[in-house]
Amino acid sequence: MPSQNRITKFLKPSEHFARSIHLERDFADTTALDQYVVTEKISKLFGQFAKAFGEGSTERAWRITGDYGTGKSCFALALARICNNRSIRVPKQLLPASKSLSNANALPVLVTGASEPISSAIIRALQLRLSECKSRKRPATLRKANRILKESDPAERDRYAIDLLKQTAEFVRETKQGSGVLLILDELGKSLEFATRNPDDQDITFLQLLAESASRSGNTPVVVLGILHQGFSAYADRMDAMEQREWDKIGGRFAELAFDQPLEQLTSLVSNALGVKVDRLPGSIMKAARANMAKAIDLGWFGAVANPNPNE
């Protein structure tokens, strides 16, 4: 291939797209969202989520379900950054979403699932966020956190996690650091897998109680967002039918936001990730690309939106 036509001349992949997002690590990274692409689907998701912070809303437990590598964690990071009233900086492409979520002034509490009880992970995340708050005042029940983590039985630990979450939301409101709490449970599937293997250490009904507590949080919103790769019952596939139905019922407490971006919007994401410079592409490549695109549309490979024969 002649040197002037090397692919590196036309594609400049960004390092931002080469690594996965880790919520706790990247929340403090001011550059983590600099190249985030807000598609039409993402804008709609932000708009849907804004309802959770509306006055009198009872729809405050949500879950995002989608395949690996589709940007779920990145969306959650963007949401946390927008909702945090003390955010360092919101990239300009997220400013329209900031306006649609103007009522979402909340303290983000970020949890990445692991092989441990989810209530323990929530308690530790609350400890961390409260230690970072400027006010010297802290919820009184926080003093019990270390003892609960080390000595309590699972049932007491689960009750305490929900109680501390409520008190944290009240503390945030009273100290004027926000209106409530946004709890994001990334990699929730890992926590569910732990619960299936260790039912005596983590009762899955904890998530039902968490969702119910969020829905009743009134004027001091506690909003919960879980992120999964598949539905709740898929993590209970080795259990009997009755237990799987119970898991489905608990999953139903969380309103689902399907993370299935249309193909035409995914092409925009891929183009941004690869750094495609259209104005630098030779005419022959552009001509071939248009011809191939036309064939793909004719065959219906580009989705129903672009398909000129939608009934085929």
Half-sphere exposure of 193 (CA within 13 A, CB side): 10
Q: Would 279 be classed as within a structural domain?
A: no
Q: Are 110 and 24 in contact (CB under 8 A)?
A: yes
- Residue 77: count other Cβ atoms within 10 Å of its Cβ: 25
pLDDT tens-digit readout, 254-273: 998 877 655 555 566 556 55
Residue 53 belongs to what domain range? Answer: 15-258
End-to-end Cα, the chain, rounded Å: 40
Determine the average pLDDT of the residues in 213-220: 94
Is 269 a member of any domain? Answer: no
Q: In angstroms, how far apart are the furthest CA atoms of the chain? A: 70
How would you class 18 by CB atoms within 10 Å of its CB: exposed for 0-12, middle for 13-18, buried for 19 or more?
A: exposed
Let me know: does 60 contact 52? Beta carbons within 8 Å. Answer: yes
3-state helix, strand, coil in the chain (%, to 5): 55, 10, 40
DSSP 231-268: -GGGGGTTS-HHHHHHHHHHHTTSEEEE----HHHHHH
179 neighbors 220 (Cβ within 8 angstroms):
yes
**pLDDT band at residue 305 using 50, 70 and 90 as cut-offs:** low
Q: What is the pLDDT of residues 23-54, one digit of tens each?
A: 888 888 888 888 788 888 888 888 888 888 88
Burial class (CB in 10 A: 0-12, 13-18, 19+), 56: exposed
Q: Which residue, chain included where needed, has tokens 């879950």?
A: 63
- Residues 6 or more apart whose CB falls under 8 angstroms from that of 242 comprise none
Q: Rounded to an integer, what distance in angstroms lies between the CA atom of residue 281 and that of residue 272?
A: 15
DSSP conformation class of 273: H
pTM of the predicted structure, to 2 decimals: 0.79
pLDDT interval class at 132 (50, 70, 90): confident
Dihedral (CA of 114, 211, 132, 140) sign? negative
Average pLDDT of span 9-33: 72
CB-based contacts of 162, cutoff 8 Å, min separation 6 = 209, 210, 213
User: What would the mean pLDDT of 289-294 be, rounded to a whole number?
Assistant: 77
Total of domains in the chain: 1
In a domain, 212, yes or no: yes
Residue 1 pLDDT class (50, 70, 90 cuts): very low
The contacts of residue 80 (CB under 8 Å, 6+ apart) are 23, 27, 108, 110, 182, 184
Give the integer Cα–Cα distance in Å for 105 and 95. Answer: 15
Q: What is the pLDDT of residue 204?
A: 92
Any domain includes 41: yes
Please say if the pLDDT value at position 55 is more than 90.
no
Rg (CA), the chain: 22
CATH number of the domain that 209 lies in? 3.40.50.300
Is residue 302 assigned to a domain?
A: no
Residue (of 160, 177, 82, 168) closest to 130 by Cα position: 168
Residue 180 belongs to some domain of the structure:
yes
Is 77 within 8 Å of 33 (Cβ atoms)? yes
Residue 280 domain-assigned (yes or no):
no
**Count of CB atoms situated within 10 Å of the CB of 291:** 10
* 277 in a structural domain: no
Element (H, E) at 294: helix 283-298
Q: What is the average pLDDT score of the chain?
A: 83
**Residue range 15-22: mean pLDDT, rounded:** 65
